[in-house]
Amino acid sequence: MKKIVVALSLLAVFACKNKEEQNDEPGIMDAVESVKSMNKGADAIKDYEKITEDLKKLTPVKNDVYKAVLVETLGDLPRTKFSAGNNAAAAGLSTAEATYSNAEGKAVKVTIFDGAGETGSALITILHMTIAMGMESIEGTKTMQTEEIDGNMCSTQNDTNPDSYNNSSINFIYNDRFQITLEGTKIQLEELKSYLAKLDLSHLK
């Protein structure tokens, strides 16, 4: 219950901050939709509690597992950067990151967080709640929504502005344990989905 209150409080703060930055005064319907979304998030955490307890007991995967997923090429893009191991900024959090890019500046960054252990399970729970809230927004050239991709509920973003640094992203939980994030530079969302399809996530168990 304590986790639910903390997570909801954090999301409420971020929501208020975004509203203030946009200088928009929320109406009654905005407030109603926000409450509905928060309730969905709270219900999602409650349903996820058993999985969270199980994740706490697990040991993070070894770096070899990450290497098996983040191989040397992703479609037509070669891997230009790779790192894996325990995150010094978050004790006990096991992560891996790879960047695939070409000379024209086209790039896909793939990040994996293991939800095993105390720190990992807490982050996975918050992400699960965020996705369950099913939030959508459109601001200028930017679109954010929740959608299903290959059987996984994902939080996606797309920016059609060609001058934007990051044009697209996909964020989801795999196998109730791993947070997978793809960020595309000079890549629109539909193309980023095709790169996601080329990732072999079966090693993440």
Segment 190-199, tens digit of pLDDT = 999 999 999 9
> Which region holds residue 97: left if phi is over 0, alpha if psi is between -120 and 50, else beta?
beta
Q: How confident is the model at residue 5 (pLDDT cuts 50, 70, 90)?
A: very low
- Are 120 and 136 a contacting pair, CB within 8 Å? no
Sheet of strand 107-114, all strands in order from the earlier edge strand to the far edge: 73-74, 77-86, 94-101, 107-114, 178-185, 168-174, 152-159, 142-149, 137-139
Cα torsion 4, 7, 9, 12: sign: negative
pLDDT at 50: 86
pLDDT, tens digit, 9 for 90 and up, residues 117-165: 998 999 999 998 889 998 899 999 999 999 999 999 999 999 999 888 8
Report the mean per-residue pLDDT for the chain.
Answer: 83
Question: What's the pLDDT score for residue 18?
Answer: 44
pLDDT by residue (tens digit) across 45-83?
A: 566 788 999 999 999 999 999 999 999 999 999 999 999
Q: Is the pLDDT of residue 8 over 70?
A: no
Produce one character per residue of 161-172: b if its CB has 16 or more CB atoms within 10 Å, e if not.
eeeeeebbbbbb
Mean pLDDT is lowest, of 4-18, 47-61, 93-107, for 4-18
Q: Taking the model in full, what pTM does it have?
A: 0.78
- Residue 44's pLDDT band, with cuts at 50, 70 and 90, is low
Q: How confident is the model at residue 4 (pLDDT cuts 50, 70, 90)?
A: very low
Task: Work out the percent of the chain whose per-residue pLDDT is above 70.
Answer: 75
